[in-house]
Amino acid sequence: MNLPKKHLRQRPYFEPRLPQRNRMASIWQSVFQLSTTIGMITLALLLFTVVNQTFGLVAIDNKVDPASLAVNGLPIEELDQQTLINIIKQNVSPGKFRQLEREEPLAERTREEVYQVVVDDVVQPNEIVGTWTLVESLTMRKAILTEVEQEYPQASVSFTSWIDPQFVTSPQSSDVLEAGVRTAILGSLYIIIITIVVALPVGIGAAIYLEEYASNNWLNRLIQTNINNLAGVPSIIYGMLGLAIFVRTLGPFTSGAIFGISDTDTANGRTILSAGLTLAILVLPLLIINVQEAIRAVPNSLREGSYGLGATQWQTIWHHVLPNAMPGILTGAILSISRAIGETAPLVVIGAATYITFDPTGPFSKFTTLPIQIYQWTSRAQEEFHNIAAAAILVLLVLLLSLNAGAILLRNRYARNKNY
């Protein structure tokens, strides 16, 4: 108000440059849209690659060419039951035929069952001679069929989905047609349960302490800085930590020896328990940071209201802070679980088995997990193992999505109750 008069006489000069400003605005908008698009394309490519490998034509060489079994020009797929039984009688040894009849008389079986016997015991598919991706199968079907016809006259070509109920329920096997991910799924689930059971209470507890109780002194600041740094430590370091602590030092505990469980197969602490604990430590910093973030987002006015009524600190935390932080806590849990379920490196370091055919029976079993199984299959030279690796990736994705869906449902239930 006390400015000299001359300042008021001349109004300031503005140069709006509106076209330039608006152009800048739209350029930045395009940049951000482009980033999103690149992300989406990458994701789509990833899914495409996996799906492309999982489905496709497979040529299997047979001991007997199915075409040679045709009767009156009809292929075996279209023959009736009696003709099929005759084919079996003519082509297997009398002893084998008697054995089949003893199991269940062929005449009393359904036509499909008899057909399966023809395939298994007469045609005897034994070796995969070629696999093709989904795109190849769809676009060059004719060429593939001709090629197989020329090179392997006995072989039959069929469109196959590598992921099927049999794949999910079968244990690991060296025969690619028999192999499944049952052992790996169970291993992953066991480990993730141990990780959740250990990491969630510890992580939430530590976050509550740091946010609600810890005073602002150098020690607590040091702890906080360390947690933030630990979240960025490469996972293989945690593997070495797990190897040193859980496998070597605490070997008697993690192998179950001190509980009197001395399974010779549970090779010295390289067990599900060790793996679960290692992954729990791995996700702890991430979890703590996320839960802290969630707790910090609870408005202070809510705490004051609670204290103002004569609530203790614990009552305030339990009745107001935690319920209101729950959606954020669950988001942190989702991130941690996703991280843990996909980890490979630390498990390789602590000694996950790459080839086991028996189911894990408890925390003291040897184990393998889906990522390790996938890694092992992709490093095989044979093409067909890459196909089942792709199928296993799909299984892993489905497992991950269903675990996360559970947590998201839970989160939405909590989030509905609050609306600020």
Residue 215 is a binding residue for another protein (CB under 8 A): yes
Q: Which stretch binds another protein (CB under 8 A): 50-58, 124-132, 310-318, 338-346?
A: 310-318
Cα torsion angle, 336, 284, 372, 186, sign:
negative
Residue 304 is a binding residue for another protein (CB under 8 A): yes
Q: Which of 17, 98, 111, 319: binder of another protein (CB under 8 A)?
A: 319
Q: Which stretch binds another protein (CB under 8 A): 27-35, 313-321, 341-349, 392-400?
A: 313-321
Alpha-carbon span 337 to 334, nearest angstrom: 5
Q: Which of 249, 312, 379, 382: binder of another protein (CB under 8 A)?
A: 312
Residue closer to another protein (CB basis): 14 or 420: 420
Pick from 337, 336, 351: which is nearest to 399 by CA?
337
Query: Going by C-beta distance under 8 Å and a sequence separation of 6 or more, which residues neighbour residue 283?
Result: 195, 199, 203, 336, 337, 339, 340
Q: Which stretch binds another protein (CB under 8 A): 147-155, 183-191, 193-201, 294-302?
A: 294-302
Residue 419 is a binding residue for another protein (CB under 8 A): yes
Q: How far apart are the first and last CA of the chain?
A: 42
Which of the 8 DSSP states describes residue 212? I
Q: Which stretch binds another protein (CB under 8 A): 24-32, 183-191, 242-250, 307-315?
A: 307-315
Amino acid at the residue 349 = V
Residue 221 is a binding residue for another protein (CB under 8 A): no
3 state DSSP class of 55: strand
Any bridge partners for residue 156, and if so which?
60
Residue closer to another protein (CB basis): 160 or 306: 306
226 CB burial (10 A radius; 0-12, 13-18, 19+): exposed
Residue 305 is a binding residue for another protein (CB under 8 A): yes
3 state DSSP class of 68: helix
Residue closer to another protein (CB basis): 4 or 310: 310
CB neighbours of residue 133 within 10 Å: 20
Compute the least distance from the CB of residue 306 to another protein, in Å: 7
Compute the least distance from the CB of residue 110 to another protein, in Å: 59
Compute the least distance from the CB of residue 303 to another protein, in Å: 7
Q: Which stretch binds another protein (CB under 8 A): 72-80, 146-154, 196-204, 316-324?
A: 316-324
Residue 299 is a binding residue for another protein (CB under 8 A): yes
Residue 323 is a binding residue for another protein (CB under 8 A): yes
Residue closer to another protein (CB basis): 303 or 366: 303
**Residue 43 structure tokens:** 């994701």
Residue 318 is a binding residue for another protein (CB under 8 A): no
Residue 311 is a binding residue for another protein (CB under 8 A): yes
Torsions phi, psi of 263, nearest 5?
Answer: -80, 125
Residues in the chain: 420
Alpha-carbon span 316 to 320, nearest angstrom: 6
Pick from 243, 239, 268: which is nearest to 364 by CA?
268
Interface ranges with another protein (CB under 8 A):
215-216, 299, 301-312, 315, 319-320, 323-324, 417-420
